Amino acid sequence: MDPDAALLYLVESPETATRYGVSVGAVGFEWQGTARLQFTRSWPRWKVPEVMAERSPELRPFTVANGGMDPGPGNPLGARALYLFQNGEDTLYRIHGDGRPWELGQSVSSGCIRMLNQDVIDLEARSVHGSDVIVLPSIKPAGLQALY
């Protein structure tokens, strides 16, 4: 995943890859490195991490302790979620769906990689359990916004 270009590539062979447009994490919440695709979920339940609920108290009803948010149109994880782990631990970062095409290329999440629902459905169907997911470091100067 290239955060500066707002593109995710599914590498299919040394010669081919499928490219998807994405939205990336907001400045200050960006993540980089190599993770493992541990598992996927169709129409996932959103369970807000405590650290996010502390920043945004209006999300407290959707924390793990409160059972999370039901799947469906209002759920920010969209149609699918791919769960990223490092060293056997959940990174709390996801590749997930979103129904807002105008957000592509923007820094709009708390670090997750958002895709259009139809794209994340395609990616999830073609993904391989245990695959490496590589998120490149951003080389944009701090505070520079995407122009696409």
pTM: 0.84
Catalytic residue among 20, 24, 80, 96: 96
Q: What number of residues does the chain have?
A: 148
Catalytic residue among 6, 112, 120, 133: 112
Query: For this structure, is 96 an active site residue?
Result: yes
The predicted-structure confidence for 93-120, as pLDDT tens digits, reads as follows 899 998 777 777 777 766 789 999 999 9
Residue 29 has pLDDT above 90, yes or no: no
Reading across the β-sheet that carries 80-86, which strands appear in turn? 113-116, 89-98, 80-86, 33-42, 132-135
Select 7-43+78-135's CATH number: 3.40.50.2300, 3.40.109.10, 3.40.50.720, 2.40.440.10.
2.40.440.10
Please tell me the distance from the alpha carbon of residue 29 to that of residue 3, in angstroms, as a whole number: 12
The predicted-structure confidence for 55-84, as pLDDT tens digits, reads as follows 889 999 999 999 999 998 889 899 999 999
Top pLDDT among 136 and 143 is at: 136
CB-based contact 26:20 (threshold 8 Å): no
Please tell me the distance from the alpha carbon of residue 137 to that of residue 33, in angstroms, as a whole number: 7
Residue 148 has pLDDT above 70, yes or no: no
Residue 143 has pLDDT above 70, yes or no: no
CB-based contact 98:78 (threshold 8 Å): yes
